[in-house]
Structure 1
Amino acid sequence: MSVIGYALWLYHRFPLSQRDVQELLHERGIHVSHETLRQWNIKFAPLLTEELRHREPRRGSRWHLDEVHVVVGGMKHWLWRAVDEQGAVLDVLLQEHRDTEAAKTFFTRLLDEYDVPEAIHTDKLWSYGAAIRELSVLHAVEHVQVVSSARCNNLVEQSHRPTRQQERKQVGFKRRRRTQEFLALHARTSNLHRHTRTTVPASQRRANQTSATRDWHEALRRAA
């Protein structure tokens, strides 16, 4: 299980392809086929995502939402993403459309997991406002529309970067379901390691890294 955990951690922590992970394991004397790595991801990614989500602390009450196009299997999709005011990813959802129904689906998914927020920050896509008007639970929530380059939207814009890096590394995504599973775990792994990259003293960074590693292995143990 330690080998599986290490392989999955490499794949979801850094912009690496499965071939890269296979080579890194080989350098450590661990011979694993590409197909075995693929099957490990299929089996454990959804389970790990849920375990890590349940271990996360309470999230903030100001949501920042954005959507970015992603090509999956040669077809254009939209990756909807929500982060809180601290930059932690609340959820990601891959959808074929960028309309009111898609926005409602994403809001409903978020509300199934989190309390009603105090404020929702979005770009000026009209679908957000239309979806908020159709969901009565959000009528009293402050809706702040900003231009995509505004500073307050940087949190979610920055959160898209690892997705783009991984998309380039994998030379595009192939299947929608696998892409959703990968991006969901990638987001939870990013949350786990958010505080290992901050400008805090080295001793604190090491402590944060140790905590993140411990949480990862505990989640993997429970997922197994």
Structure 2
Amino acid sequence: MSDRKPYRHRFPLSIVGYALWLYHRFPLSQRDVQELLQGCGITVSHETICQWNIKFAPLLTEQLRHREPRRGSRWHLDEVCVPVGGVKHGLWRAVDEHGTVLDLLLQHHRESEAARTFFTRLLGEYEVPEVIHTDKLWSYGAAIRELPVLHPVEHIQVARAAHCNNLIE
């Protein structure tokens, strides 16, 4: 009998990275990723993908965070009424000066409480902007007055007819 240890196959990090990218980038289960890798000729179990996820996902997340571009200091906000199941809702949208979508929020109302909720979500994710561009909806001004962190921010209200806020529209 041989004293050799069983052979453990070590996958290159490029395969591990690809598997984790598939799992986190698309709405796939670990079994779906397993099947996609098998289609590429790579045999791996979904348990292995789970272990890779536990071990390497924090590193992958940190790498992606450093690759992410800085968000602009000018926010363009807009809201629009959209029917969902026959009921009107307010869709709140925010983009930065480069046109990158910052956040979307679907609310039942278009009042200052909804605007404050939207600002709070944005401020939890991004730094305080230098300028906020909105249309003339009064809810924006009320929400900005209610949040002390936004008091020094320049608030520019643009006329909807002039399409000055067209970065978001």
TM-score calculated relative to the size of structure 1: 0.46
The counterpart of 1:64, out of the listed 58, 72, 76, is 76
Q: Structure 1: how far apart are the matches of 2:168 and 2:132?
A: 12
Query: Are 2:166 and 1:154 equivalent residues in the alignment?
Result: yes
Alignment partner, residue 74 of structure 1 = 86
Q: Distance in 1 between matches of 2:68 and 2:155?
A: 26
Write out aligned runs for 1:19-168 (5 A): 54=65, 56-157=68-169
In our comparison, the structure showing a higher alpha carbon Rg is: 2
Q: 1:56 Cα deviation (Å)?
A: 3.1
Residue identity in the other structure for 2:158: V
The verdict on how the C-alpha distance between 1:71 and 1:151 changes in structure 2, with shifts beyond 3 A counting, is closer
CA–CA separation in structure 1 for the residues paired with 2:130 and 2:162: 20
Cα deviations across residues 12-42 of structure 1 (Å, max 9, x unaligned)?
xxxxxxxxxxxxxxxxxxxxxxxxxxxxxxx
Give the structure with the higher percent helix.
1
Deviations 1:154-190 (A, max 9, x none): 1000xxxxxxxxxxxxxxxxxxxxxxxxxxxxxxxxx
Quickly say closer, same or farther: Cα 1:93–1:85, change in 2 above 3 A: same
SS in 1 for 2:76: strand
Structure 2 gap segments, 5+ residues each: 1-17, 27-60
Alpha-carbon offset, residue 151 of structure 1: 4.6
Aligned-residue CA RMSD (Å): 2.2
Letter in 2 for 1:129: G
Higher relative contact order (CA 8 A, sep 6+): 1
TM-score where L is the length of structure 2: 0.60
Hey, which bits of structure 1, 4+ residues long, moved more than 4 A?
A: none
